Chains A and B, each alone.
Chain A
Amino acid sequence: MSVAVACQGIGKSYASRSGIVEALAPVDLTIGAGEFIVLIGPSGCGKTTLLRILGGLLAPSAGTLGLKPGADGRQNIGFVFQAANLLPWLSVEENVALPLKLKHEGRAKRLTRARELCAQVGLAGFERSWPRELSGGMQQRGAIARALADDPALLLMDEPFGALDALTRTRLNQELERLWLARGATVVLVTHSISEAVMLADRIVLMSPRPGRIQAVVKVPFPRPRDPALEGTVEFQAIASELRARLGETS
């Protein structure tokens, strides 16, 4: 059902006009199959870089990446980028159905699935719209639906809820947890929100400023499914303030 990830000494340097920029110091990270990891760290610390390496969109300058498919052999990736990246010439539902189309799934089947997902992310009624007719947050929800369409074994999400209001964000956090519990993908999600991190993660990976390295890994022990009311509890706040303190140390 899901992929296990092993990063060994993964580093990345970019050659730019101002010389060589070390974006990612060697990173060691092992992610279990079906685990929910949240990456958090200051802007520019290499979170997107690490995610792109995990997704095979960027070759690391050092180290090795191991992806071990689950028992069913699936290792397809769902990627939610920092920008929505919907294709302007496809309707919203066709955008959501794109991963299935590339897999040669039949039209009726993939559109049914796409409409189902549109409803789940709150885009019901906009299935036939063009992406440019949607607000930024709606486009981002479309991108989330697209990433989920082919039931990915590894789901990589780069600040997927950044453009959303607090209420929608909470609702989609819950929806994402529900889907994840039902499907069991391995998830790596980047966020700047400490409470989102604590609400969603099995483990939170804290990164230091550039060059990014893993500064700490924090386990979140709460049982699932987690209720939004959890945020008000002492235990939740204890973890949140620990994270805040650790992030404050570095930035």
Chain B
Amino acid sequence: MSGAARLLPGPIGVVLFLALWQIYCATSGISPLLLPTPLQVLRAFVEVMGEAPTWNHLSYTLGETLAGFGIALVVGVVLGWLIASSLLLERAVHPFVVASQIVPKVALVPLFVLWFGFGPTSKVVVSAVIAFFPIMTNTLLGLRSVDPGHDDVFQALRATRWQRFWQLQLPSAMPAILAGMEMAVVLATIGAVVGEYLGGSDGLGYFAVATMNAFQTDRLFAIIMLLTLMGFILYLAIAALRRVILPWQRKAVGE
């Protein structure tokens, strides 16, 4: 496939989708309170972005997301490493790990609001709890997937436990950890927004609920767009980080 042939289907698909949406709104006579047209959404987006409170809400949500993600990253990697290095610990925490995977974590949000109040803390906690899981499991998986041949090399060289961790286990686990981080950053965003839905008076989640209550559906769509954009940019940041940390994984030129 030539470059153009590979790149075009994406934009064409989006344009086609927007066109169908516009036509549907125009012909079905659906109320803009239920479904605004793409053009109305775009107008609302420009309007919303021009208002100062939007940026306050955005920075609030972004702050919570990053804090939750940061906590999830540290706790997830450390716990994954602890579990990977002790079979006993793995047996002990396994039931909790499985349970925490099964519990619909969103259902715990009211509990966190109860414990940590309506301020940012409860949202950071929700965000961290939801994002933590893929990081921990991927760290565990990655640390366990050390190539036995590489292990032989370190053993023959009489490497210390510490050297083995930093120079063998961690680099071996890095691709898996980064894949976990990609998932986690999206989940952290969801966690923060869901937390804001249920309590408090700040953040894009709160802003969305308030807008909905005011029946400003076009503005609600605009906020959803903004949230999507934020999540997407965070995801791209992790993808860029992957390219910096794992240059050896980059595809050969011409591939």
Contact = CB atoms under 8 A, between A and B. Distances in A.
Size bracket, chain B contacts: 10 to 19
B248 A83 contact: no
The binding surface of chain B is classed by DSSP as: helix
Contacts of B228: none
Contacts of A78: 156
Interface in B123-170: 147, 149-150, 152-159, 163, 167-168
Contacts of B152: 52, 57, 79, 81, 85
A76 B149 contact: no
Contacts of B171: 87, 89
B91 to A, nearest CB: 23
A57 B150 contact: no
A71 interface: no
Interface in A128-169: 130, 132-133, 146, 150, 156
B246 interface: yes
B153 A89 contact: no
Interface in A10-65: 52, 55-57
A73 interface: no
B99 interface: no
Contacts of A133: 252
A57 B155 contact: yes
Contacts of B155: 56-57
A39 to B, nearest CB: 17
A85 B246 contact: no
B174 interface: yes
Contacts of A130: 248
Interface string A101-138: 11000000000000000000000000000101100000
A55 B158 CA distance: 10
Given A87-B171, A89-B171, A79 B150 contact: no
Interface in B34-73: none
Contacts of B167: 98, 101-102
A146 B150 CA distance: 13
A126 to B, nearest CB: 14
A81 B149 contact: yes
Contacts of A88: 248
A132 B171 CA distance: 16
Given A88-B248, A130-B248, A79 B149 contact: no
A87 B156 CA distance: 14
Contacts of B157: 76-77, 98-99, 102, 150
Best-buried of A52, A76, A89 by chain B (most CB within 10 Å)? A89
B149 A89 contact: no
B35 to A, nearest CB: 50
A156 B167 CA distance: 23
B5 to A, nearest CB: 29
Given A57-B156, A76-B158, A133-B252, A83 B174 contact: no
A145 B158 CA distance: 18
Given A83-B149, A102-B163, A133-B252, A89 B156 contact: no
A122 to B, nearest CB: 21
A146 B168 CA distance: 16
Nearest to A77: B156
A99 B156 CA distance: 10
Contacts of A90: 248
Contacts of A57: 152, 155-156
Nearest to A143: B153
Contact of A79 (B156, B163, B246): B156
A89 B174 contact: yes
Nearest to B155: A57
A167 to B, nearest CB: 27
Given A57-B152, A81-B149, A98-B153, A89 B159 contact: no
A132 B156 contact: no
A191 B9 CA distance: 56
30 contacts: A55-B156, A56-B156, A57-B152, A57-B155, A76-B157, A76-B158, A77-B156, A77-B157, A77-B158, A79-B153, A79-B156, A81-B149, A81-B152, A83-B149, A85-B147, A85-B149, A87-B168, A88-B248, A89-B171, A89-B174, A89-B248, A90-B248, A98-B153, A102-B158, A102-B159, A130-B248, A132-B252, A133-B252, A146-B153, A150-B157
Given A83-B149, A87-B171, A102-B163, 17 more contacts: A56-B155, A57-B155, A81-B152, A85-B147, A85-B153, A87-B153, A87-B168, A88-B248, A89-B174, A98-B157, A101-B167, A102-B159, A102-B167, A130-B248, A132-B252, A133-B252, A150-B157
